[in-house]
Amino acid sequence: MTKFARKSKGKKPGINTASLPDIVFMLLFFFMVTTVLRETNLKVDIFPPFASEIKKLEKKSLVSYIYIGKPLQKEVYGTAPRIQLNDAFATKEKIREFISSEREKMTEADRKKMTVSIKCDKNVEMGIVTDVKEELKKASALKVNYSSRSGTQREIFSNF
Amino acid sequence: MSRRRELQEINAGSMADIAFQLLIFFLVATTMDTDSGIFRILPPKPEEEQKEEKEIKERNIFVVLVNKDNQLLVENELIDIRNLREAAKEFIANPANRGDLPEKVPEEINYFGVIPVTKFHVISLQNDRGTSYGTYIAVQNELTAAYNELRDELSINKFGIRYNDLKDDDDRKEAIEDVYPLKISEAVPKNIGGS
């Protein structure tokens, strides 16, 4: 017994933290690779509608975004819903220009697969959305995604 | 000169701290959420004076009107959105072969052989400019769900696999889409609601 008692008398060894930096670096690399930095600053308030039949957008490089919603800075821009392209408010006439500049950025093969994601607030009236859709037709950007989040039936039918 | 000085090692103790700082930065800046939503292909803009007015038989059209008070008028009847999905499913498939629902045309389709398909059916969705976007998406969602449920049933019966689990370039997916082709036509909204 004495043998064991003597052994436990020694100092408790501290946990070796030498591999801590390695672990942290691994995490770091993971986040660096998966990160997509926010490209645009939203200037409009968007609460997407709920839906259940949604699909995920696969390739982010093929997607262009159009934001529609009420301006965040009500005092400056009022409360009428606005269209936002890239970082600034725009009128619907600017959409064609925007689409063609987005097309320019893509490779020849990708242009056919281009998708436009309409991110619109659920309380916006359809008038402005329809205008945007008409402009997209004119610009022949026909693949459209109505951005929505998955929700329960109650959330989907909340307007009724 | 006799004994060489040993190279002093760099103290790496603070390495973890630096790495942690970077890690926290990326954690904060990351947006993990991927965008998702309902996909639609818009119809191309018709060329000037080129459109041939195709006659669509009354029985082949399923008219869905949405007004600015979020009410639904389906085939001239005011209905609740909870019943829209079933109504749309019955219209698309026409299982009882009723005379007032779309006609069935025999069609040769891979895997299925010659089967009757409601080839000419069209769901015409028309909304007011004052309809809220949330309502519009809910209606679109129900119509899509009608198609997806029909396709799912067919796919499970025929192949024993859910429609959504079929790969994009799968022949079977194509065959199912040929049996139930998605046909939602959207008219340019009128300003009937007075908004």
Domain regions of chain A by residue span: 44-156
Residue of B nearest to A39 (CA): B31
**CATH T-level fold of A44-156:** Nucleotidyltransferase; domain 5 (3.30.420)
What is chain A written as a DSSP string? -HHHHHHHTSPPPPPP-TTHHHHHHHHHHHHHHH-----S---EE--PPEESS-EE---GGGEEEEEEEEES-HHHH-SS-EEEETTEEE-TTHHHHHHHHHHHHS-HHHHTT-EEEEEE-TTSBHHHHHHHHHHHHHTT--EEEEE-EE--HHHHTTT-
Q: How many domains does chain B have?
A: 1
At A101-129, the pLDDT tens digits run 999 988 888 888 899 999 999 999 999 99
Kindly report, residue by residue over B80-95, the tens digit of the pLDDT. 999 999 999 999 988 8
Inside any domain, residue B115? yes
- Summarised one tens digit per residue, pLDDT across range A53-85 is 888 887 777 888 999 999 998 888 888 999 999
Domain that holds residue B89: 58-186
Report whether pLDDT(B195) > 50: no
Residue B155 lies in a domain: yes
Residue A16 near residue A39 (C-beta atoms within 8 A)? no
Structure confidence at residue A124 (pLDDT): 92
Summarize pLDDT for B21-80 with one digit per residue, the tens. 888 888 887 766 678 889 888 888 766 544 555 667 788 889 999 988 888 999 888 999
Q: Is B18 helix (H, G, I), strand (E, B) or coil?
A: helix
| Residue of chain B with shortest Cα separation from A156 | B138
**Residue B22 within any structural domain of the chain:** no
Q: Is residue B176 part of a domain?
A: yes
Between chains, do A145 and B39 touch, taking CB under 8 Å as contact?
A: yes
CB-CB neighbors (< 8 A) of A150 in chain B: 36
**Residue B150, in any domain of the structure:** yes
pLDDT at position B148: 92
* Domain-embedded: residue B119: yes
Q: Is A140 on the interface with B (CB under 8 A)?
A: yes
Is position B1 within any domain? no
Which pLDDT score, from 0 to 100, does residue B192 have?
A: 53
Q: For residue B67, tell me if it sits in a domain.
A: yes
Q: For residue range A1-45, what is the model confidence (pLDDT) as tens digits?
A: 555 555 555 677 888 877 888 888 888 888 888 776 666 788 899
- Is the separation of the CB atoms in B22 and A28 below 8 Å? yes
State the complex-level ipTM: 0.78
Helices (H) and strands (E) in chain B, counts: 4, 8
